[in-house]
Amino acid sequence: MYKFVIVALLTLLPWSTRAALPDFQPIVESAAPAVVKILVEANAQAQPMPGADELEELPEYLRRFFEFRGQAPQQRQRQNTGSGFIISEDGYIVTNHHVVEGATSVTVRLLDRREFEAEIVGTDVRSDLALLKIESDDLSVLKIAEDGVAVGEWVLAIGSPFGLDFSVTAGIVSAKGRSLPTEAGENYVPFIQTDVAINPGNSGGPLFDLQGEVVGVNSQIFTRSGGSIGLSFAIPAAVVNNVVMQLKASGEVTRGWLGVSIQDVDLDLAESFGLDRPSGALIAQVGADSPAQEAGLQSGDIILEFDGQMINTSSDLPHVVGLIAPGSEVEAVVRRDGQNQTLQVVVGGLDADERPSVAGRMPGADDNDAIFGMVLEAADDDMMAELGLSGGVLVLEVAPDSPAAAAGIVGGDVVTRLGSSAVQSLEDFTGAVARLQPGQSVAIRLIRRGAPLFLAIRVPQAEQ
């Protein structure tokens, strides 16, 4: 009923309004010959052959069966399908890493039904991209865009969902710069979010703008049913261009690396650092001998800009740093002690098989004072050595309805910094507290379960 009403209303629109809607047919006609279906064979996980001890415990008929075979079961072949697209006349093809992962053979099928065996030139798990190569001439190619898309723009996808060859779907860009969980754990991809219908089999296919250029590679969907619900995600063209260039050159990808542990800035932290709104990436820890340490970045700095790019949330920083060529010198604008400073940073490199981390182990009396509602004591030397610290103050208890409880501090936390003051002893902490003003919001750095964490704590108002 509703669909009938919508169609009826559309027919009442002026012709000029209907004519303004995009016509995707020219894009499909010119681009479809360069979109490919990818057929993958890979080894399924086989069950291991029982060992000698396990054989002894089996019933006689099963033991004779395995002894007769004399070897582990043969691995079965599983088949996957995906999509991709040709980017050069000499046969280079872009697709997703997860489409060809573990492949024993890859076949590429064109729109005209020609098929080619493909070589895997290289893959990159962090971006979920792969580069293939086929030997052929007379190939149609697609151009990867240099510029990005804006939220609200029309986009078009071509792929093979559920094995249905060369299907076309369209929609708009819903959001940009999305950070999503990845297999590698760390996210270097600012995904484009669209409402284009994407389903299994679309993976690796192109996302087009209205100029017919590839603005992204379809990679993921969010779904509870297994089908599209209007939340699909594509790898943006800037990442695709960077990864393809490196895979062509060396078969692997190296990324920019800074060597910091970061967290978001919430409203209370923003106030405590003198910002008018939450923004930037707050450095919780700087790795020893890291590019960040060499540049003079410190724990408690908030990175507001990096290489000319605004850092609105902590997830923006890996997106920017990862695309910078190792060895490049760039500017970083940081908030420190209530003032903005500009530092020169020489970005390091993170090889394809390296895990990004800060160097070394990642960290996180007088019982009667109960400062901010906390019962504190000096942390013992063994604890500090285990955490890789030279000093700190241990939180034993936190009183309910206290400033510390409101800030999220819990027993077992180790305080290492209050405001701009390092805390290595109870005297350091009480001295830093004495310099605070009533009602002030101040950042406090903790080590919690081995990991660094900043919180904002409010200094109680003086009693009248």
Residue numbers annotated as active site: 98, 128, 203
- 163: number of CA atoms within 13 Å, CB side? 4
Amino acid (1-letter code) at residue 432: A
Phi first, then psi, for residue 308 (nearest 5°) are 80, 0
457, 429 in Cβ contact below 8 A? Answer: no
Distances (CA, A) of 219 to 192, 199, 201, 223, 244: 10, 10, 10, 13, 16
In terms of C-beta density within 10 A (0-12 exposed, 13-18 middle, 19 or more buried), how is residue 65 classed? exposed
* Helix or strand holding residue 416 (H, E): strand 414-418
SS3 453: strand
Backbone torsion region of residue 113, taken as left when φ is above 0, otherwise alpha when ψ lies between -120 and 50, otherwise beta: left
Give the residue carrying structure tokens 């079961």. Answer: 73
* The pair of three-digit structure tokens given for residue 441, joined into one six-digit string: 């919001």
E strands within 179-238?
Answer: 191-194, 206-208, 214-221, 232-236
Q: Which of 119, 70, 67 is CA-nearest to residue 93?
A: 119
Q: Using CB atoms within 10 A of its CB, is residue 401 exposed (0-12), middle (13-18) or buried (19+)?
A: exposed
Tokens of 424: 């290595």
Task: Give me 361's structure tokens.
Answer: 């182990």
Q: Report the DSSP pairing between strands 232-236 and 191-194.
A: antiparallel
Distance, CA of 103 to CA of 100 (rounded, Å): 5
34 alpha carbon, distance to own chain's centre: 29
Q: Residue 169: which of 18, 39, 27, 2 has the closest Cα?
A: 27
Distance separating alpha carbons of residues 87 and 121, to the nearest angstrom = 14
The phi and psi torsions of 41 (rounded to 5 degrees) equal -110, 135
The DSSP annotation for 251-312 comes to: SS--EEE--EEEEE--HHHHHHTT-SS--SEEEEEE-TTSHHHHHT--TT-EEEEETTEE--
Of 219, 94, 243, the residue nearest 157 (C-alpha)? 219
